[in-house]
Structure 1
Amino acid sequence: MASRSAGRRAQKGDAEPGLLRALALTLASALVWGVAHLVTGRRIVGSILLGAFVLLGAAAAVLGLFFRPRLMELAVQPAWLSGVAGGILALGLVWVTVVIRSYQLARPGSLSLGASTAGAVAVTVLCFAVAVPVSWGAYNTYVARDTLTSIFQAGGGNGRAVNTKDPWNGQSRVNVLLLGGDAAANRQGVRTDSMTLASIDTKTGETVLLSLPRNLENVPMPAGPSRDRFPYGFTGDGAGTPGLLNEVYQYAEDHPDVVPGARKNQRGPELLKATISGILQQPVDYYILVDMFGFADIVDAMGGVRIKITEPIPYGQRGEVLQPGDRVLKGKEALWYGRSRTLSSDYARMGRQKCLLNAIARQADPQTVLTKFDRLAAATKRAISTDIPQELLPAFVSLSTKVKDGSRIDSLQFVPPLIHTGNPDYALIRRLTTRALAGDRAGSSASPSASPSASSTKTRPATEAGGASPSPSPSRTDTKPVSLDDTCPK
């Protein structure tokens, strides 16, 4: 009896160091495939695993260092994302298999029940350590694909074919209409209170933002049923609608006959695109509509947005104030920063909105997007609608990289005191638009022959009611666009 007990104690003493060695080799194999195989004499399989691991690591490094722009373009293609999600899951399965097999090869032949249980638990934990990040990567890839297919339709939902070899069809500029929709629970329909045409140079990424105030009147309508109904300019939908530019979207949704052939939720964008195209005498290629309340969710998903506030801005319904200084605004605060009219005006508000968009564009870095991807994707799905086709996303990603990498973003706003919104000089608006897109940024005042009708975001305007204007916004007689980076507070 004594000899058998001594033998078991000796066996246990030999097994415990053997278990630790096995777990160490298993951990090493989880970090670098093939280590346990090589140590235990499985040299062919071990060499294959090690070679595969080195190749995968080298390929990832090369792609990240030298092909990052191309990877970003592939990352907005649903078919590629499906393949990547499947590849990540397959990689995870192989990795877990390597971990389990490494432990099987390295563990001692005889273990006590306690040691065997401890080894199994340790390997299970190690498998989870491998599986969790792999599953997270596959899940986020699926979320990205779902978000893209929810927001962007093939052909933009209108059947237009995209030439992937020349996505811009030889155009020197692509024009995207950026809309802020002011929908609310106590209001029927959508008012487009923010309307900006982003005109982007397809070679350099240099961008001009052409902003139209929501309260433009006598808006000329595009040829067809809408002009037949409003031959002398848009006058609204009867009593209670003054006939402002921000009503055109909902008017089209409520009156299908003015946009024949367009489906529900497409009628508004189509008529507004055509209307603004006529105002500026520029083609409007695509639109993006952001619901203002969904916009707050996007800012929260980013973790807030950094803004320098130069003057107190009333906030909320309880007399709160956004105080001056460098602030990180939460979603609702950012929404009020961009929309507050108290002691301000529509035009001051337009200036703040441009600075807010500029700040978000500069701060939406890859690390922020990656670490908060799930929340950003969910918020984006709720907030955004567009007719940009899926097939054009890689080209837009490439173009946005040029914009983010330092290309100039200029802003030109057609607002008082230079434009009288009740009786706008549309001919001058078109001339100034043509000059801005031609790159005419020198100088700061209108020529004597041109009645002043537009302005840049250089300084503050006098408000309609004569009040103060706590924002970067126009007041001078500038008719040339200026850089948002130069005019927004830093």
Structure 2
Amino acid sequence: MTGKQREFGLGASIALTVASAALWGVAHLATHRHRMGIALMAAYVLMLAGVLTVFTAFSTRLLSLAVQPGWLTVLTGALVGIALAWTAVIIRSFLLVRPDSSDTAGRFLTTTLAAALCALVLAPTAYATRMAYLSRDVVSHVFATTTSSAPVVAQDPWNGAKRVNFLLIGADAAPGRPGVRTDSMTVASVDTETGATTLFGLPRNLQKVQLPHGPARSRFPFGFTGDGPSTPGLLNEIFQYAEDHPEMVPGVGKGKRGPSLLKRTVSDILGIPVNYYAMVDMKGFAEIVDAMGGVRVTVKDPIVYGKYREGLLPAGTRKLSGEEALWYGRSRTDSDDYVRMGRQKCLLNAVAKQADPMTVLKSFEKLAAATKRAISSDVPQDLLPALIELSDKVKDTRIRSLSFVPPLISTVTPDWYLIRRKVSEALDERPANRSASAHHSAAPTQDPETPVSLDAACG
């Protein structure tokens, strides 16, 4: 039965087309196609119930699913299928109730309306599909493909470990200087149950660093001393030295030798296993901050920045651009390495607290592009859902920090035993002590042996 036989005027055609887009089957019922109309309504209700169930009962796991390439493919397919079915319903409903062919203006208006409704359905789907593609691309580009045939167990992805330790590296490839220097090295030790996190900062200029057993220790039995005047033998040179000397890490490919040796070296220094690493290129970090729309930090003292001292960050709480955040974290003018280390941890803390889901969604495409350029890691893809859940716990806790800098540790003749003892004490603190430490507001240099809350130290 056609629109003409039912004598639908312009107003009725518009109303029924819009109603059918909002609730499938309305136009079919209006044209006495009751069986099809009821079937479409039932399908629509079931689809809506499924979507609501996913976004309510499984809302906490949606972000976890978004970092799994397989689930992203399924999600994309489902979205495309729903959008195409919805578009087909709109078009069919329009054909059933459109005005008579003699009503040229009415035909034009209702055709335009139907096309607009189809676009209204397809545009969000195209955007969601684009986001799913970008997510898959970032995950595949940044994170390691799982090599183990055994999947991560959902009930205990950490295999019974009470803590998981991540080496966070800030890399700086300066113009005119070959290779990469790891000028920022921090181990984040995270309680897998509570998310309580302690950051252990290692200065870039630690000397006589003992390398792991094997070829590396054989070459430098009395500690790393570099390779000539251009490499004075500091901790921040080990990464590039391993990349330039494959025999130091036999059997490990290019691009992985540096992280592998540095992880093992840092693990020996701190006396805890370093499970994974994440390295951020400092210039790329500025792009990430810009993609977030800036990061708000408290600048305690004015900071001069720029190669020729052309900039100044005034004291106070303010939102920094990517370039300003980069200099906030790297400037040593009128300060030193140890003050800079403190600022870097404050910056990490601020980014972690402010990178909420809405911020990520608003700038997703820019963040995805910047992340691909700036970050590398050996975290396996199948561990990402558990890592997402763990990061949510971390946001609800106070992040504490302990830096092994003077006067606690001499960078020229480090006391390795003292470093390992302080790490053990920091991680073995009882809840009462931990609570007191979390509210400790003194600056790190006032009590260098006690981990301090970053929220307090940076605020």
Same-fold status (TM-score > 0.5): yes
Q: Which residue of 2 aligns with 1:109?
A: 100
Partner of 1:283: 273
2:413 maps to 1:410:
no
Q: Equivalent residues in 2 for 1:455-470 (5 A)?
A: none
Confirm whether residue 198 of structure 1 aligns to residue 168 of structure 2.
no
2:389 matched to which residue of 1? 398
**Would you say the 8 A contact 1:351–1:457 is kept in 2?**
no
1:475 maps to 2:432? no
The alignment yields a C-alpha RMSD, in angstroms, of 2.2
| Corresponding residue to 2:337 among 326, 329, 346 | 346
Question: Where do 1:69-84 residues align within 5 Å?
Answer: 69-84=60-75
Structure 2 residue identity aligned to 1:480: T
- What are the residue-to-residue correspondences of 1:320-339 with 2, within 5 Å? 320-339=311-330
Secondary structure in structure 2 of the residue aligned to 1:347: helix
Alignment partner, residue 100 of structure 1 = 91
Q: Distance in 2 between matches of 1:97 and 1:172?
A: 53
**Could you give the per-residue CA deviations for residues 351-378 of structure 1, whole angstroms, max 9, x where no partner exists?**
1111111111111111111121111111
CA 1:440 to 1:236, structure 2 compared with 1: closer, same or farther past 3 Å?
farther
1:386 to partner: Cα distance: 0.6
Pick from 220, 243, 246: which aligns with 2:210? 220
Alpha-carbon deviation of 1:116?
Answer: 2.1
Contact 1:259 1:271 in 2 (8 A): yes
Task: Return the match for 1:163 from 152, 156, 172.
Answer: 152
In structure 2, the partner of 1:298 is 288
How far apart are 1:401 and its partner, in Å?
A: 1.4
Change (3 A) 1:459 1:292: farther
Change in CA separation of 1:178 and 1:162 when aligned onto 2, cut-off 3 Å = farther
Query: Under a length normalisation based on structure 1, what TM-score does the superposition of the two structures give?
Result: 0.87
Match of 1:176 among 142, 166, 178: 166
**Deviation larger for 352-361 or 247-256:** 352-361
For 2:35 and 2:175, how far apart are their aligned partners in 1? 68
Contact kept, 8 Å, 2:294 with 2:322, in 1: the verdict is yes
Tell me the CA shift for residue 400 of structure 1.
1.0
TM-score, length basis structure 2? 0.93
Which stretch has the larger CA shift, 71-80 or 249-258? Answer: 71-80
Q: 1:381 to 1:350 in 2, by over 3 A?
A: same
Secondary structure, counterpart of 1:72 in structure 2: helix
Q: Which amino acid aligns with 1:294?
A: G
Query: In the alignment, which of 96, 108, 114 is matched to residue 123 of structure 1?
Result: 114
Distance 1:25 1:245, change over 3 A: same
Q: Choose the corresponding residue for 1:55, options 20, 23, 46.
A: 46
The CA distance in 2 between the partners of 1:48 and 1:311, in whole Å, is 68
Which residue in 1 is equivalent to 2:128?
A: 137
Contact 1:225–1:257 under 8 Å retained in 2: yes
SS of the residue 2:80 aligns to: helix
Amino acid at match of 2:397: S
Cα contact 1:85–1:141 (8 A) shared by 2: yes
Residue 467 of structure 1 aligns with which residue? Answer: none
Q: Sequence identity, in percent?
A: 54
| Residue ranges of structure 2 left out of the alignment (5+ in a row) | none
Take 1:214 and 1:63, find their aligned partners in 2: how far apart are those partners?
Answer: 47
- 2:25 aligned with 1:34: yes
| 1:228-267 → structure 2 map (5 Å cutoff) | 228-267=218-257
**Structure 1: distance between partners of 2:240 and 2:170:** 13
Q: Per-residue CA shift, 1:3-31, capped at 9, x if unaligned?
A: xxxxxxxxx9x98x812321222122222
Q: Which has the larger radius of gyration?
A: 1
> How far apart, in 2, do the equivalents of 1:486 and 1:49 lie?
58
Question: How far off its partner does 1:384 sit?
Answer: 0.6
1:188 is matched with 178
C-alpha separation in 2, matches of 1:174 and 1:303: 30
Question: 1:235·1:244 contact (CA, 8 Å) conserved in 2?
Answer: yes
Instruction: Give the match's secondary structure for 2:370.
Output: helix
Report the Cα distance in structure 1 between the residues aligned to 2:176 and 2:214, rounded to whole angstroms: 33
Q: Does the 8 Å contact 1:173/1:199 carry over to 2?
A: yes
Task: Provide closer, same or farther for how the CA distance between residues 443 and 415 of structure 1 changes in structure 2, counting only shifts above 3 A.
Answer: farther
Q: Secondary structure at the match of 1:154?
A: coil
Whole-Å separation in 1 of the counterparts to 2:208 and 2:320:
37
Cross-structure match for 1:45: 36
Which residue type is aligned with residue 212 of structure 1? L
Aligned pair count?
449
Higher mean alpha-carbon deviation, 475-484 vs 137-146, is at 475-484
| 1:161 Cα deviation after fit | 4.8
Alignment correspondent of 1:449: none
8 A Cα contact 1:213 1:415, kept in partner:
yes
Match for residue 304 of structure 2?
Answer: 314
Q: Which residue number corresponds to residue 85 of structure 1?
A: 76
* Cα offsets for 1:144-189 (capped at 9, x unmatched): 111111111222xx65855324321211111111101111343221
Secondary structure at 1:41 match in 2:
coil
SS at match of 1:288: strand
Partner of 1:438: 428
Contact 2:205–2:234 under 8 Å retained in 1: yes
Pairing 1:23–2:48 present: no
Q: Which moved more, 1:299-308 or 1:36-45?
A: 36-45
Q: Answer yes or no: is the 8 Å Cα contact 1:164–1:392 preserved in 2.
A: no
Residue 412 of structure 1 aligns with an amino acid whose one-letter code is L
